[in-house]
A = this chain, B = another copy of it.
Amino acid sequence: MTAAAGPRSLRLRRELRPEDVAAVEGIVRSTGAFRDDEIAVAVELVQESLARGARASGYHFLFAERGGATVGYACYGPIACSLHGWDLYWIAVEQSQRRGGVGRVLMDEAERAVAGAGGRRVYVETSSRPDYAATRSFYESLGYVAEAHLADFYAPGDSKIVFVKVVA
């Protein structure tokens, strides 16, 4: 009765739906890694994209579904004033589904979408905190390079690391 658990059973979806407001909040909250004000930002980007569309809002979404449930998502978009840089704003996978390859599938597909839209550099920002070590290793394992370190950016003792990957 158990469905196949590998990434192959995943379905990817690009179009955004009103239900995604709750889905994104649930996914981001399940990780336990974000403060309420950060979760509010994640939700706001969904609302903004629903209200104005991906192009006008600058927020593109990609969802991973398994057995009809939305289990992960990525949010990315072109960087204003950059000719070829895109930001990966958020990537999160429902806590119970982690280590199943969902994040990697989302990253691969987001990079493909960026390259398809003419983007050449994907930027990801994350925290220097010890509890983000797995996140940083995840990006590094996908070919991202830490290019900048902004001390105390998020909060005292919580710096921002900017990773970049050239996609072709």
Contacts and interface: CB of A to CB of B under 8 A. Distances in A.
* A interface secondary structure, majority: strand
Looking at chain A, what size class is its interface with the partner chain?
20 to 34
Interface in A75-94: 79-85
A40 to B, nearest CB: 9
B153 A41 contact: no
Contacts of A41: 80-81
A49 B148 CA distance: 30
Interface in A36-79: 37-38, 41, 79
B150 A162 contact: yes
B154 A81 contact: yes
B153 A121 contact: yes
A104 interface: no
A164 B147 contact: no
A151 B82 CA distance: 12
A4 interface: no
B162 A148 contact: yes
A155 interface: yes
5 contacts: A41-B81, A85-B154, A147-B148, A148-B150, A150-B164
